[in-house]
Structure 1
């Protein structure tokens, strides 16, 4: 059976069941109403007869002497009064003749023997048969009522009593025959069944028609799906579909095509997810901030670098409109908003922000060249940090200088080391020859100490230029910071420096040479402590994002003057009387070996901030959940 036929049959069957249930409830309600009406009309007749019996007794027994202590005499007087009363007899005759459901009427004494009976007078003084009460039909179900009314003939009574001295005296019994009820119910039952039958037939016809009409668009949907499949361009799958047997059922065809289209969409979704992941990875490595806007100026693609320009997390930017991202109270926001409002592109326009940061702004609108009006499909915004370019150029210059120094020191160390060794040997021989002249020995001691100092300088140059073999291990950066702070705690106490460390609760996993990184951080921490001559707070803060771990060390000393800030990483450059000028140069080189970055921010009189930036390997983050720190993270170490 075709699926369409099954659906039409199921819908039609559901409508049939619903119409049948409603019809059954309607018929049950109607039958109960007619039973109730029949009972009410018969109850009225019984009350009329009872009233007439009371009048007949009052009239017949008024002037008649009766021995009230003789029950037989009382019954005889009552029976004669009822039988001789013309009003009561007239009422009984009229009810029997004109009531469609009443079979007989009898007035009986308290023993159930008839005092007067109609229409059969032979029932007088006879015991009346026991009959069920007609009121019991009122609470029965439709099926039971139909069985009783349309079953074997039965008679029900409607009974009313008259009491004397709080004792039953006479009862009025009105008999109703079920065959009479059949005759009374038959006309409206016939009409009801006819109406119900027509309603069910019409409902089935309408349901079948509407079901076919509702499923008619399936063919149109099938053609649209064919068109969509063709536009999607799946030659191999189209060929396999052509070879497969085609069903004549439109619903089955649409179901199969939707399933194949869904499978294709899942494949496309997987490809899209992979492309989006690759795109996010590419954008995360870009230094420039990039934002892609839709036609209605909503951001749908945001690089992570944009956070550096706007100081807003990218999750809060995605989906927002231009007016919610850029505000006119800032120079950068005013420039971008004006360009969006005018629909004009921006080509490398330099904007200086309120903080003095120089940003190059580029805005390109994407147009649909196939349309006649070339309406905009969206816009691409690029923010280029000119300050970072200058910093990168400065770092490259420092790297070139360090590389040149390395090459120079490698040659100088090799060339100077051998003559120094020869001078030391001959100086020792000369010392043995002129031991007796004390004045000459004093000069030899000076020469030897200076040669030893020159040897240490040359050895330092050799060590600095020698290639370093990194011992990279997965480390929790918090442990390295804690160990360095513990190591320098004695220096902090001596200089009255209070360390305020703010380390995250969860591990910061990096792949580094722990010994070298400790040496680099120790150089910066000691420099910060020594920069505060009168003591103070040394702030150490560790944080991370999706790409980098940032470790900043801030002191509150005198700061670094602008004229020497560019030389602090030069080898042997120092402003300390007892400094060697090697510490910061070695720190810078260690960060370079780890593909990291060392940034310096300093204002004279406000202190300096050195920031270590180390790359985070996403693969190493899998160990974060099971990482157990080696040392506890403490607040205020070295206080």
Structure 2
């Protein structure tokens, strides 16, 4: 490398004065602590070693730096020098240089050199810290974006200042359009930004300075209910102020469904114990009451009013006995014979029977049967009972008339039987209760119809799916296992 090419674009052309140990120490420190940008503007072209008999040349990445026995010779040989660094720190030499150097050459004393090297070091540390900060920031962003739940970063007023990728993907709008909105507008799909929680978890978290949570639900565009748990956690700075808050929303629909199933199973177990007790403790006196009432009815001297009262006693006794039978049947396994069932034929036969009730309620029934429908493995009488239960519920939901759609279809590995009405729909607050035993919104009935339907379908390995939109209608679909193309003995293994 020629001297001209090396000095090109150099802002500071330096000559160094010092003894060999000092020079080597300075040079190593300068090379270690400087960054590339600083080295581009600085060029060391010569060194003076006063009092040294041996003048070795210095080395700078393969470029030889000439050395001289005195600084005057160095300056004569290198008129391009515009800065002299005095590295020894000897006061006499510093004084001499101040008096000798022309105005065009800047003298930098040893203490000043240390100061500027420390500045270079600080700049290098700042760059390293910046790179480390960017790496940490990218790693944190990647982790937060990989979380499957929605995460929002809020200010102390509940306004969005950041979010993870899950939120952006769900809403399908640019991130910048979400900044500054209320977190309720995003988590609750609230158009006016108002929170519809009974107790806003953000307000509770900010008031108590502790994490808070709340449960919320919504109906999707398919009419299915989804449950969410919202968590709000205040973040405190070093002064103890909660200027930022982390809010997250987790979909707990599956967990809620499993909890409801577990609660229903526990309820069924309790009902089973109760029904057994009732069968023993109530049926005996009930049998006695019915027996005496029948005996009195055969008494010839009984007047007409007494006979009417005895008839009421007998009717109510029979009704009570039927309730006991329904209760006992509900809590026991069906134990019914499972065999091949043609759903299309079953639907035709059942709807022929239900045509009159539909006409009486001013309901028009539409039947759509899939010609390629697979047969299912179930008990035909129980499936017929399920269909009747669903049709009766649909008729009750359409008191002023409407339309009823009964369809069969195939979906992947399941056979589907659907009953859809154009009734009033099911309110959101009771939607998770309608399959519970003894729950009914009507004055008549025992509230066991839908519970019995789910129990029957569950026992054969099927599933009951509910879709309902208020003031639009309700659709209940029975997903049933199709009959497999294997021998019965192989299928039972």
The two structures have a TM-score, normalised by structure 1, of 0.35
Question: Which structure has more helix as a fraction of its residues?
Answer: 1
Question: Which structure has more strand as a fraction of its residues?
Answer: 2
The two structures have a TM-score, normalised by structure 2, of 0.45
Larger Cα-atom Rg: 1
